[in-house]
Amino acid sequence: MSANIVVYVSTVSSSIELKKKQQKIEAVLSGKKIAYTAIDVAADRENLEKMRQVVGDPTALAPQIVNGDVYCGNFEAFDEAVENEEIEQFLKL
């Protein structure tokens, strides 16, 4: 499966909730053998700007999921797609 899935994450957060969301995304993608790249928006301001540009929201926060330059959704949309077994459609694969 050749996809350009990118998960924008933040490694600098004191929020346990945020870390759990990021871990769930990574666990689901790894479990389904879907290749992805995690990009840390906390490591580089340019990564944050790129994420917000693709998402189309200047205040968007990680985690966000994109396929190439196509926005797939945030954690809540991802979680719903997993529940409904629609992960491939969500990721636009």
pLDDT tens for 15-26 read 899 999 999 999
Q: Does the pLDDT of residue 62 top 80, yes or no? A: yes
Domain residue extents for the chain: 5-90
Q: Which fold has domain 5-90?
A: Glutaredoxin (3.40.30)
For the stretch 6-54, pLDDT in tens is: 999 999 878 899 999 999 999 999 999 999 999 999 999 999 999 999 9
pLDDT at residue 45 in the model: 94
Tell me how far the alpha carbon of residue 66 is from its chain's centroid. 6
Residue by residue, DSSP assigns 44-74 as: -HHHHHHHHHHHT-TT--S-EEEETTEEEEE
Q: What is the pTM (predicted TM-score) of this model?
A: 0.92
